[in-house]
Amino acid sequence: MPDTWKESKSFKDILRTKKIPRKVILKKTAPDGLFEYEYFSLFEGQHVTLKNGYRIYWYCSSEKKRLDRVRREKRMQKAEGQLAFISSKLNRAKLKTKSKIKERIDSTLKKGMAQFFSITIYEKHKSIKKQIGRGRPGPGTKYRTHTSTSYSLLWEPDKKRLRQEENVDGIFPLLTTDRSFGPKEVLSSYKYQPRLEKRFNQFKSVHEAAPLLFKKIERVEAMMFLFFMALMVQGIIERKVRLAMKEKSIKSLPIYPEYRSSFYPTTSKIFYNFDRVFSYKILKNDKVVKEFKDSLSSAQKTILSLLDMDENEYWG
């Protein structure tokens, strides 16, 4: 669910002011290895969209909570550096008035960082008397009073606002239109999404599906069907190779450039290893007199064995 929806803002505003009970529903290995496990908690309560009444599940990830805190601390440090820079430029050039100083602060502290600081602009007035006219001052000398204003900047973190923001660290909503799905099924489906995105990436990059310069929708549909079949074959090849690697206790294959290892080989990289393999035929009167074949490397032979193919089948 997009963060710009009213449902998201409403829930976060409530969570900033009070605690909502939650319980752990899933534990998985942490992605970066800093912690052994990542925990996913589900917030209690019935949450639905304002339109159509679709179910919304609100989760909290222990890993995301940590990352949100680290990112905010980095942004706070950067914002304090920006405020210090503005403070050093006060009373000069374009920062001689209070309104200009406020504009500079608002334009510099982007992404709502100003709300995490208590910022005060202090004014200091200094009056100076200046003689009107030339000559030595005397009993009848007249003076003009000139008042100058200087500004200073003071800021400190708003601890109350920061504590409220900590309450929404690590949370994220998932919306489902399938009313039969429970919170754990929705979360598991969401975590599977990167694998689907990988197929879309291959669809656009490896297969270069776009653009399709056809005028008839039937031709576009036919071409999309062929691309879909290509993705199916690609997925089958990857699955077969990876299952065979697991069965034969092969951790990786040196199929990347410079013989770097791949722990989860993709079809495009598997095919890449056979790009420069050729066979040569000597013809006489349109008949093959002699045929020469490039020698296959150990990595290529391993790939063929994982695909249940021998060299004769490959050359055939």
Contact 204, 224 (CB under 8 A): no
Decide if pLDDT at 53 tops 70.
yes
Residue 201 lies in a domain: no
Q: Which residues pair with 120 in a beta bridge?
A: 154
CA–CA separation, 310 vs 316, rounded Å? 10
Clarify whether residues 231 and 287 are in a common domain: yes
- Domains: count for the chain: 3
Residue 148 lies in a domain: yes
CA–CA separation, 103 vs 172, rounded Å? 33
Q: Which of 148, 149, 155 is nearest to 86 (CA)?
A: 155
Label residue 51 by pLDDT band (50, 70, 90).
confident
Clarify whether residues 224 and 295 are in a common domain: yes
Residue 200 lies in a domain: no
Decide: helix, strand or coil at residue 165. helix
Residue 282 lies in a domain: yes
Give residue 73's pLDDT: 92
Average pLDDT over all residues of the chain: 87
Decide: helix, strand or coil at residue 297. coil
Clarify whether residues 82 and 172 are in a common domain: no
Clarify whether residues 149 and 235 are in a common domain: no
Residue 199 lies in a domain: no
Clarify whether residues 46 and 180 are in a common domain: yes
- Give the pLDDT confidence of 133-161 residue by residue, as tens digits: 787 888 878 878 888 888 999 999 999 99
DSSP3 helix / strand / coil % (the chain, rounded to 5): 45, 25, 35
- Give the pLDDT confidence of 176-204 residue by residue, as tens digits: 998 888 899 999 888 877 776 777 777 77
CA–CA separation, 246 vs 252, rounded Å? 10
Q: Which of 112, 1, 184, 75 is nearest to 11 (CA)?
A: 1
Q: What is the DSSP string of 22-55?
A: EEEEEEEE-SSSSSSEEEEEEE-S-EE-TTTT-E
Decide if pLDDT at 30 tops 80.
no
Give residue 42's pLDDT: 94
The residue with tokens 């197929």 is: 199
How buried is 210 (Cβ within 10 angstroms: 0-12 exposed, 13-18 middle, 19+ buried)? exposed
Clarify whether residues 78 and 38 are in a common domain: no
Cα-based distances in Å from 118 to 109, 161, 236: 13, 10, 59
Residue 237 lies in a domain: yes
Residue 204 lies in a domain: no
Contacts of residue 206, Cβ cutoff 8 Å, sequence gap at least 6: 268
Contacts of residue 240, Cβ cutoff 8 Å, sequence gap at least 6: 306, 307, 308
Clarify whether residues 119 and 86 are in a common domain: yes
The residue with tokens 């914002």 is: 79
In the chain, the percentage of residues whose pLDDT exceeds 90 is 32
Clarify whether residues 147 and 287 are in a common domain: no
Contacts of residue 258, Cβ cutoff 8 Å, sequence gap at least 6: none
Clarify whether residues 241 and 229 are in a common domain: yes
Q: Please give the residue range of the domain that contains residue 222.
A: 210-316
Give residue 135's pLDDT: 79
Clarify whether residues 129 and 185 are in a common domain: no
Label residue 173 by pLDDT band (50, 70, 90).
very high
Clarify whether residues 111 and 255 are in a common domain: no
CA–CA separation, 295 vs 4, rounded Å? 59
Residue 30 lies in a domain: yes
Span 253-263, average pLDDT: 86
Decide if pLDDT at 125 tops 80.
yes
Give residue 218's pLDDT: 92
